[in-house]
Amino acid sequence: MTAIHIDNLDVSYGETQITHNVSIDVEEGGSFALVGESGSGKSTVLKAIAGLAPEWRGTIEIFGKPRSHGIDPDFARTCQMVFQDPYGSLHPRKTVDATLMEPLNIQGLSDHNERIVAILKDVGLDNRFRFRYPHQLSGGQRQRVAIARALIVEPKLLLLDEPTSALDVSVQAEILNLLKRLRRERGLAYLMVTHNLPIVSFLCDRLAVMRGGRIVETADAENLKKGHLQHEYSRELLALSAPPAV
Amino acid sequence: MSAPLLAVENLKVTFPSPSGPVDVVKGLSFELGRERLGIVGESGSGKSMTGRSILGLVRAPGKVSATRLEFDGIDLLKQGEKGMRAIRGARISMVMQDPKFSLNPVMTVGEQIAEALVAHKRLPRREIAARVRAMLEAVRINDPDRVAGLYPHEISGGMGQRVMIAMMLIPEPDILIADEPTSALDVSVQAQVLDIIDALVRNKGMGLILISHDLNLVAHYCDRVLVMNAGRVVEDCAASELKNAQHPYTRGLLAAQPRLDETRDELPVIDRTTWSAA
């Protein structure tokens, strides 16, 4: 079963059309990356799936069900999003506990206490952190909370918008390991937006290179590792991220 | 190499806190000639504070002390605000991280670049215009006359950062301090901006201090690298030798980066307990 099936997606903001004929398929339990530079429309695709960019034409199907255009609690149950900046995505006046409680209330789930304790443990935070505010946490800890918030409703698909680009290298490694482990343990599917090709190589099976709102190439991560990308622009990106000296 | 342009010995930056003063830079020493020096470290390692203390930009209640902080024979610690103003910009200048916040939103690009020049030198108006134009060309802006008339919100991030560089280099300083000059930019623009800095620094024989968290980038663009952690230099080596780094922190940082041909199932995470006590 495909987790995400997108066909000929055109997203617009007002009069401006951002993406053109974007088509991607992500297998259940698969991990797919959208790469490209700022303004290539990669985040816009995520936003359309999440219901944050309601003006689109084409097909978006999540686990076989067509996606409506707005915010949809039923959809939120299967698909959650983790944002780029953990300094901006957590409510500054809510404790970790309150942040994690919110999705449970929206989804009408029971066993709040057990679920919160379990999810915190799963993302590698111990119970001390439960009643802290975001400003009492480091960047990496915040991103763990954001991931916990997404996972607490037990979705099958996670949308990741540059989940580590605001973090230090060593913290990035921790978060990437965490994402990889959670995917293995829970059979999650990922759709990740990034401009960092080595991260794709670590975490994803397939990738699509976007430019100017269009997909210029879709390839296996294996080809990325070997440097076998076909399109001229993909090669350009590859050359830029190849570590020069070290 | 001749006598160093900048000599720093036992530099300390201290901030007060409820539990007593905290040293964010703990006794840093280095010398800079007309070369490219990279300072790498993670958030909170004190790398930016090092850059700022050289220019006397650490604000109260922060305190800077050093046994020696000398630039071209001038003792920077003894300079008053007025003395520092003559050095700042004219002889040592600094490119900040984000062009969106460091350009004046209500002045055109051309005026801002000219201001950097006029602040230190009296020049005829025609010469100012010519120098601004030449500088914009030097940072590879295609249509300098048009761009000079634009406001910062009308130009892209990459262009904004090139304008910043133009502004910092137009007084022809001896040292350029670049504090994460490209971390707000796209990968594709990053290389372009760094190449520009690199070419200008080489051509003018300036000293460059490149402050960044990106090891690869620093290794590529610098001659020498200082790796900082918790206010101390843990590694001082030639950029080409970085891959043979000795200190566990540097090795940890290098290993923690995913590679393009990644085969590891898990990335090694820095174990801070082994050496942070030292």
pLDDT in tens, B146-183: 999 999 988 888 888 889 989 988 988 999 999 988 87
pLDDT at site B273: 56
The CATH architecture that domain A2-90+155-241 belongs to is 3-Layer(aba) Sandwich (3.40)
Check pLDDT > 50 for residue B278. Answer: no
CB of B198 less than 8 A from some CB of A: no
Looking at the complex, report in whole angstroms how far the Cα of residue B44 sits from the nearest Cα belonging to chain A: 10
Q: Which chain A positions have a beta carbon within 8 Å of B252's beta carbon? A: 170
Strands (E) in chain A, as ranges, are 2-13, 16-17, 22-27, 31-35, 56-62, 65-66, 79-82, 157-161, 189-194, 206-211, 214-220
Mapping DSSP onto H, E and C, the string for B177-209 reads: EEECCCCCCCHHHHHHHHHHHHHHHHHHCCEEE
Q: Which one of B42, B48, B187, B274 makes the best mutation probe of the A interface by having the most chain A beta carbons within 10 Å?
A: B187
pLDDT tier for residue B6 given thresholds of 50, 70 and 90: very high
Give residue A243's pLDDT. 54
- Asked if B226 and B40 count as a contact pair (C-beta separation under 8 A), the reply is yes
CB contact under 8 A, B266 and A238: no
Give the closest residue to A23 by CA, choosing from A2, A50, A53, A38. Answer: A2
**Residue that the structure tokens 């950062």 belong to:** B161
Instruction: Report the amino acid identity of residue B137.
Output: E
The per-residue pLDDT for A246 is 41
pLDDT of residue B178: 92
Which of chain B's residues have a Cβ under 8 Å away from the Cβ of A180?
A: 265-266
Which pLDDT band, with edges at 50, 70 and 90, does B121 fall under?
A: confident
**Is pLDDT at B261 greater than 90 in this prediction?**
no
Interface of A with B (CB under 8 A): 37-38, 139, 168-174, 176-177, 180, 195-199, 201-203, 224-227, 236-238, 240-246
Nearest CA to B136 among B97, B167, B104, B92?
B167
* pLDDT tens per residue across span B61-118: 889 999 999 998 899 988 888 889 889 888 999 988 877 788 999 999 999 999 988 8
- Dist. CA A123–CA A108, nearest whole Å: 22
Kindly state the average pLDDT of the residues B261-273: 79
CA distance B217 to chain A (A): 8
Cβ contacts of B248-253, under 8 Å, gap ≥ 24: B248/B274, B248/B275, B249/B275, B252/A170, B253/A169, B253/A170, B253/B40, B253/B42, B253/B215, B253/B227
Is pLDDT of B272 > 70? no
Identify the CA nearest to A74 among candidates A62, A91, A90, A56: A62
Q: What is the pLDDT of residue A170?
A: 84
Cβ of B8 under 8 Å from any chain A Cβ? no
Every domain of chain A and the residues it spans: 2-90+155-241
Burial (CB count within 10 angstroms: exposed 0-12, middle 13-18, buried 19+), residue B4: middle
Q: Does B257 touch chain A if contact means CB atoms closer than 8 Å?
A: yes
Neighbours of A223 (CB within 10 A): 15
Mean pLDDT of B118-128: 88
Q: Which whole-number Å values give the CA distances from A188 to A26, A152, A158, A202, A239, in the listed order? A: 11, 13, 7, 16, 31
ipTM reported for the complex, 2 dp: 0.74
Residues of chain A predicted below pLDDT 70: 242-246
Q: What is the pLDDT of residue B274?
A: 54
